[in-house]
Chain A
């Protein structure tokens, strides 16, 4: 494979279909303008057809030029790409630096048996030549190129499947805030396009009629609207889950994880284990109540770049049963996760003492609002805040836990989303220990492991001073130890 090759010619078919998709709205716009001009019907149809043909033909001409200008080749040392119709570009990536080969195919590409291949070096710091896209190649060529570049022996099965989609997990799909936001979100998103089509619900009186109906029969209207809202949210959440996680599969290949997913638009993503520094178990509040969890990767160089590329490689699993998520996390880590220890009672006391201060602030705000203009029921909100603040303080305390495994430092925190982070002990690149005056009185400290991966630092908040220091000293032998004394 050392000669220069072209991209797949079937790309023209894809372009034709996609540009026809764009041409349809163009035809509608022409039709609206033409109907205002009082033209005969045949004239309008002809104008629409002409507009559509123009769009498609233009796109096809551009694509032909693009295909003729684009050549790629794979030599023993490098993968090279020449492209550009007017502004010629020559990009070249050394093969030994290639860390990821990602495949992506939307429904149209799949219809023509094609896929786009994105080759990355995983070195985002090195600037512009860190990735290269071949869009599109024939599906089997793309798969072959992936195997060649990642030096996998042809046809050899991957080392092992870590997880595969079970459609029963669809029951976890609605357990997000988006379900509750559901219909309102869709209505908000639909407003702009409807307005563009001249169907503004505020202007044409639909909104007024709706408001009138709500104020006349609140006892029927409000529950009905809320129910509709949740129903839309449910359908949306299930649809998004199905499209995002359909055909989901997580496999381990030598030196990397391979993630394939997507019902309509299929994706195949790779994450080099060299970049992996641990895993994170995420349980959103609703998901946790439903007994589910997701697994995310804690890896270096995953920070979002400023392009349209939203493929989130760090999301390793869909929401799945918690036990299974733990099992997947342990298999990715290659070590069992340790049992977690709770924080000392002082940490709970600190949170409970902070609650009255929060309540006082809310009460003060309520008093101010009461004085200004709001009716006295604002005090009800302030009163409800008391159990909420205390409950939150306790929940926050219960979420806090830590542990030390044979290879990982584990810290758990968070109420809205409970996160259990298992950080590879080799991935710790420093310690920060902090103590506020309040913590000092209670004998607590906050130990922070700094790392190059994920959030950059992971905290063990409000741990007993002695326990926290010993945890850090044992997690990375020889780093904090020399600076400890026993008094």
Chain B
């Protein structure tokens, strides 16, 4: 039976904590909203719903990052960039080197705290860039340099 094999590399293990922190920030925002509902509204049930949602997000904060870490992978060969992500809705993406237009690294404020970075590989399609998420930022810079070198060496007009 034909199937897609997993890409070779995992994200940096610190990614789990980065994702967890994102969920916790989300939970905190929900908790504040639920609190505000409790204070401002007379009926009790909007606040209770907010509280329940907060509890759900807290559970997700424990489960989701670990599941995501187990599924998320990436790989770069001389011919293509290959990624796999999403723990419920799976997504695999392949972009050939000959069609790569730009290679960038990105780092959000939370990621900087964990020393992580993303590598963004852009092609001419409206489908959006292929993202290699949550690498050690030194490794990300190295990988971006390597990708740029490979794309320069690969002939192709990128469209």
Residues of A within 8 A of B (CB): 300, 429-437, 440, 448, 450-452, 455-457, 465-466, 469-470, 473, 476, 478-480, 482-487
- The one of B5, B77, B96, B126 that contacts A455, using a Cβ cutoff of 8 Å: B126
Q: How far is the CB of A434 from chain B (nearest CB, A)?
A: 5
Chain B residues touching A, range: 20 to 34
Nearest-neighbor residue (CB-CB) of A476 within chain B? B96
Give the total number of A-B pairs whose CB atoms are below 8 A apart: 103
Give the residues in chain A near B126, CB-CB below 8 Å. Answer: 450, 455-457
Would A457 and B3 count as touching, CB distance under 8 A?
no
Would A483 and B4 count as touching, CB distance under 8 A?
yes
Would B94 and A480 count as touching, CB distance under 8 A?
yes
20 contacts between A and B (CB under 8 A): A429-B95, A429-B124, A429-B158, A430-B93, A430-B94, A430-B125, A432-B93, A433-B4, A433-B92, A433-B93, A434-B92, A450-B125, A450-B126, A457-B125, A482-B77, A482-B79, A482-B80, A484-B2, A485-B5, A486-B2
Please judge, given known A-B contacts A452-B159, A480-B94, whether A429 and B125 are in contact too, CB under 8 Å.
Answer: yes
Given A456-B127, A483-B94, 11 more pairs with CB closer than 8 A: A430-B95, A430-B96, A432-B92, A436-B88, A436-B90, A452-B123, A452-B125, A452-B158, A483-B4, A486-B3, A487-B3
Would B2 and A470 count as touching, CB distance under 8 A?
yes
Nearest-neighbor residue (CB-CB) of A303 within chain B? B126
Q: How far is the CA of A74 from the CA of B95 in the complex (A)?
A: 42
Q: How far is the CA of A432 from the CA of B81 in the complex (A)?
A: 12
Give the residues in chain B near A483, CB-CB below 8 Å. Answer: 4-5, 7, 75, 80, 82, 92, 94
Q: How far is the CB of A225 from chain B (nearest CB, A)?
A: 44
Q: Mark B104-147, 1 if CB is under 8 A from A, else 0.
A: 00000000000000000001111100100000000000000000
Give the residues in chain B near A432, CB-CB below 8 Å. Answer: 91-94, 127
Q: How far is the CA of A239 from the CA of B113 in the complex (A)?
A: 65
Please judge, given known A-B contacts A430-B95, A430-B125, A456-B125, whether A479 and B80 are in contact too, CB under 8 Å.
Answer: yes
B10 within 8 A of A: no
Would B159 and A429 count as touching, CB distance under 8 A?
yes
Residues of B within 8 A of A (CB): 1-5, 7, 75, 77, 79-80, 82, 86, 88-96, 99, 123-127, 130, 158-159
Q: How far is the CB of B60 from chain A (nearest CB, A)?
A: 16
Which of B91, B124, B130 has its CB near the most chain A CB atoms (within 10 A)?
A: B124
Would A469 and B3 count as touching, CB distance under 8 A?
yes
Chain A interface mostly: mixed
Q: How far is the CA of A484 from the CA of B82 in the complex (A)?
A: 11
Q: How far is the CA of A465 from the CA of B79 in the complex (A)?
A: 24
Q: How far is the CA of A434 from the CA of B94 in the complex (A)?
A: 12
Q: How far is the CA of A187 from the CA of B95 in the complex (A)?
A: 51
Q: How far is the CA of A430 from the CA of B83 in the complex (A)?
A: 12
Give the residues in chain A near B124, CB-CB below 8 Å. Answer: 300, 429, 452
Give the residues in chain A near B96, CB-CB below 8 Å. Answer: 429-430, 476, 479
Would B99 and A430 count as touching, CB distance under 8 A?
yes
Give the residues in chain B near A485, CB-CB below 8 Å. Answer: 2-5
Would A469 and B159 count as touching, CB distance under 8 A?
no
Would A430 and B123 count as touching, CB distance under 8 A?
yes
Q: How far is the CB of B81 from chain A (nearest CB, A)?
A: 9
- The one of B5, B89, B91, B158 that contacts A437, using a Cβ cutoff of 8 Å: B89
Would B94 and A437 count as touching, CB distance under 8 A?
no
Give the residues in chain A near B125, CB-CB below 8 Å. Answer: 429-430, 450-452, 456-457
Please judge, given known A-B contacts A429-B125, A469-B3, whether A479 and B94 are in contact too, CB under 8 Å.
Answer: yes
Q: How far is the CA of A469 from the CA of B2 in the complex (A)?
A: 7
- The one of B4, B99, B130 that contacts A469, using a Cβ cutoff of 8 Å: B4
Q: How far is the CB of B137 from chain A (nearest CB, A)?
A: 26
Give the residues in chain A near B159, CB-CB below 8 Å. Answer: 300, 429, 452
Please judge, given known A-B contacts A300-B159, A448-B127, A457-B126, whether A434 and B77 are in contact too, CB under 8 Å.
Answer: no
Q: How far is the CA of A437 from the CA of B3 in the complex (A)?
A: 16
Q: How far is the CA of A433 from the CA of B77 in the complex (A)?
A: 19
Q: How far is the CA of A433 from the CA of B91 in the complex (A)?
A: 6
Nearest-neighbor residue (CB-CB) of B83 within chain A? A432
Give the residues in chain B near A480, CB-CB below 8 Å. Answer: 94
Give the residues in chain B near A450, CB-CB below 8 Å. Answer: 95, 123, 125-127
Give the residues in chain B near A451, CB-CB below 8 Å. Answer: 125
Q: How far is the CA of A402 from the CA of B5 in the complex (A)?
A: 24
Q: How far is the CA of A259 from the CA of B77 in the complex (A)?
A: 44
Would A434 and B91 count as touching, CB distance under 8 A?
yes
Which of A452, A457, A478 has its CB near the most chain B CB atoms (within 10 A)?
A: A452
Would A435 and B89 count as touching, CB distance under 8 A?
yes
Q: How far is the CB of A442 from chain B (nearest CB, A)?
A: 14
Would B2 and A457 count as touching, CB distance under 8 A?
no
Would A434 and B99 count as touching, CB distance under 8 A?
no
